[in-house]
Chain A
């Protein structure tokens, strides 16, 4: 069902963890549906210098979050915002149809983290209900 590339990304995920004092935090998904992704970003002059993830979910959820963090490190926040789930799927050389939603979740997690960063820049606070986060 999963190709070797997805299995490898799941087996040896990159950027697992949480950045302490992150500049942007995004958490999406819902435990009831079986997926939650939390992405933390370190941003310097609108460039993402580090990204880490924590994921509750299946093989594809972990593989896509790992891949997403790899794809945005070193990118400007505008480029990271432009990242589409299809690019994550392409990077992983395909996902089973019922797992595409995992890549959507990864895209949403990045967007949420950058939104949080922008809110902080403008002095606003993002409300994150960690127990029951936004459903995608």
Chain B
């Protein structure tokens, strides 16, 4: 294929991206590719002749596709610009061997397959191919390639049950022990303090229910916050229904707990304090070390849900001085279906899952060797690249926040200005509802989360934003963008562009916005 073919195709992809939006000029295309306008003119005249593109004259003239991008194939474009796409000359020449020639058979079959292949790919597919932007890394992250390749053998060759005595089992057991060491090292814990679970939710359930049971002779009071993950909040609610007393600490407008309120909430019968390290919705980081100091001064155990923190900020269980910490692999480019609970040596807790002797008798269930191996590699890699990753991520995130705040009116940033996760940006957009924003971004292949009530039955928006005192109407219009290590500045820019359009579109439909605009005009 010649450069004519490549540039012709590139030009048509540009036209596809602007289809029904604007006309594209030869100057723009030539500038994008970095070649002279004369050359693009030549290519465009071929594309016109092939009825692929059409010129629109006039002041703001330019070119557009004749048919929609979904109805224009790569094959059509290439055949219009290339003089000769044949793979060998013999296909339609009058070679003496004729149709019986075996090489001619090969080349003509190959030629047909290539054409079939090219005719099966539309410009729409190419135009939208690279535009997928994933900004929901707080929900889950893709599995890192190194993690996946470390896991693969444990689905096949090394499939043994880690509790079996034979070689199959011993190999699996060794891998699990290694992963436990990796997790322990990353958290500055001892391997004997790491217990693998099926997820973060299980670990949170385990801590709350396990401590409640183990300590119910001492007391029945648990302290947590109003902004915890549902796995903590709903377990606390369940324990309350079983007769435990639960105090939910308030947070300030940035999502921070008040240390005086915490200290005052502690009673002689308090058995556990559970406070997340970093919030999943607004990214606010809690002063866990100071919280630990208060908890331990009163002889109360402290659990911290560190699911959002690991891989984003340093998590050192000795430094933080927590008794329990929850982590989950899929938040730091590990697989789903595996989490871990750090239990400080010597701390008593009841089992949640009763079964065999796995996890030193503390958590029954066949060891999930491949996932645990993946978690070990993932946490090691996350820890090794922690500073670099979080610097890069926060650069992209800060650029995004700056542009949104500067270019979109009536917007507020939720969460703490500095004590927040490097990848988190949570905004409330006035006069519109979050789900609509989410869907419009999704149409542009940008994935985000919304704090609106729309997916819930309750009609209430995010409990975190409400606890922070965010106005309920503003909370309905909130969107969480969570950046990860694979996101780029270009993706952030593309997202701002789409976001601006989406917000404007929804506001033009909103009676609240029209009322507001009316007020402004009246002033």
CB distance from A63 to the nearest CB of B (A): 10
Q: Which of B457, B459, B511, B513 contacts A34 (CB 8 A)?
A: B459
A117 interface contact, C-beta 8 A: no
The closest CB in chain A to the CB of B434 belongs to: A58
Give the chain A neighbours of B432 by CB distance below 8 A. 56
Which of the segments A8-16, A41-49, A76-84, A86-94 contacts the partner chain?
A: A8-16
CB distance from A11 to the nearest CB of B (A): 6
The closest CB in chain B to the CB of A31 belongs to: B473
A20 interface contact, C-beta 8 A: no
Q: Which of B453, B459, B461, B511 contacts A36 (CB 8 A)?
A: B511
Contact A59–B439 (Cβ < 8 Å) = yes
Contact A18–B514 (Cβ < 8 Å) = yes
Contact A56–B431 (Cβ < 8 Å) = yes
Interface SS of B by simple majority: helix
Contact B510–A56 (Cβ < 8 Å) = yes
B267 interface contact, C-beta 8 A: no
- A1-12 vs B, CB cutoff 8 Å, 1 = contact: the mask equals 110000100110
A33 interface contact, C-beta 8 A: yes
**Alpha-carbon separation in the docked complex, A37 to B508 (Å):** 13
Given contacts A18-B514, A54-B511, contact A34 B433 (CB under 8 A): yes
Contact B439–A54 (Cβ < 8 Å) = no
B349 interface contact, C-beta 8 A: no
Q: Size of chain A's interface in residues, with CB distance under 8 A?
A: 29
Give the chain B neighbours of A11 by CB distance below 8 A. 443
Enumerate A96-129 residues with CB–CB distance to B below 8 Å.
98
Give the chain B neighbours of A59 by CB distance below 8 A. 435-436, 439, 454
- B487-508 vs A, CB cutoff 8 Å, 1 = contact: the mask equals 0000000000000000000001
B418 interface contact, C-beta 8 A: no
Contact B436–A34 (Cβ < 8 Å) = no
A57 interface contact, C-beta 8 A: yes
The closest CB in chain A to the CB of B476 belongs to: A34
Give the chain A neighbours of B473 by CB distance below 8 A. 31-32, 34
The closest CB in chain B to the CB of A97 belongs to: B457
Contact B436–A58 (Cβ < 8 Å) = yes
**Alpha-carbon separation in the docked complex, A16 to B509 (Å):** 6
B452 interface contact, C-beta 8 A: yes
A61 interface contact, C-beta 8 A: yes
CB distance from A66 to the nearest CB of B (A): 9
Give the chain B neighbours of A13 by CB distance below 8 A. 509
B456 interface contact, C-beta 8 A: yes
**Alpha-carbon separation in the docked complex, A97 to B432 (Å):** 22
**Alpha-carbon separation in the docked complex, A7 to B440 (Å):** 10
**Alpha-carbon separation in the docked complex, A34 to B431 (Å):** 10
Contact A56–B511 (Cβ < 8 Å) = yes
Contact B459–A33 (Cβ < 8 Å) = yes
Enumerate A53-72 residues with CB–CB distance to B below 8 Å.
53-59, 61-62
**Alpha-carbon separation in the docked complex, A18 to B508 (Å):** 11
**Alpha-carbon separation in the docked complex, A32 to B473 (Å):** 5
Give the chain B neighbours of A58 by CB distance below 8 A. 433, 435-436, 452, 454
Given contacts A56-B432, A57-B436, contact A98 B512 (CB under 8 A): no
Contact B509–A36 (Cβ < 8 Å) = no
**Alpha-carbon separation in the docked complex, A98 to B458 (Å):** 9
**Alpha-carbon separation in the docked complex, A55 to B432 (Å):** 9
The closest CB in chain B to the CB of A131 belongs to: B515
The closest CB in chain B to the CB of A27 belongs to: B511
Contact B436–A62 (Cβ < 8 Å) = yes
Give the chain B neighbours of A38 by CB distance below 8 A. 511
Give the chain A neighbours of B454 by CB distance below 8 A. 34, 58-59
Give the chain B neighbours of A31 by CB distance below 8 A. 473, 476, 512
The closest CB in chain A to the CB of B432 belongs to: A56
Given contacts A10-B439, A58-B436, A58-B452, contact A36 B512 (CB under 8 A): yes
**Alpha-carbon separation in the docked complex, A17 to B509 (Å):** 7
The closest CB in chain B to the CB of A37 belongs to: B511
Q: Which of A2, A16, A56, A130 contacts B433 (CB 8 A)?
A: A56
Contact B508–A10 (Cβ < 8 Å) = no
Contact A56–B435 (Cβ < 8 Å) = no
Given contacts A7-B439, A11-B443, A31-B473, contact A55 B457 (CB under 8 A): no
**Alpha-carbon separation in the docked complex, A60 to B472 (Å):** 20
CB distance from B36 to the nearest CB of A (A): 40
Query: Which of B439, B472, B473, B509 is the most central at the interface, judged by chain A CB atoms within 10 Å of its CB?
Result: B509
**Alpha-carbon separation in the docked complex, A53 to B513 (Å):** 13
Q: A32-B472, A98-B457 are in contact. List 8 more A-B contacts (CB 8 A).
A: A10-B439, A11-B443, A13-B509, A16-B509, A34-B459, A34-B461, A34-B476, A37-B511
> Could you list 10 A-B pairs, sorted by A, with CB under 8 Å?
A10-B436, A10-B439, A16-B508, A54-B510, A56-B431, A56-B433, A56-B511, A98-B456, A130-B511, A130-B515
Residues of B whose CB lies within 8 Å of any CB of A are: 431-433, 435-436, 439, 443, 452-457, 459, 461, 472-473, 476, 508-515
4 A-B pairs with least C-beta separation: A58-B435, A54-B511, A38-B511, A58-B454
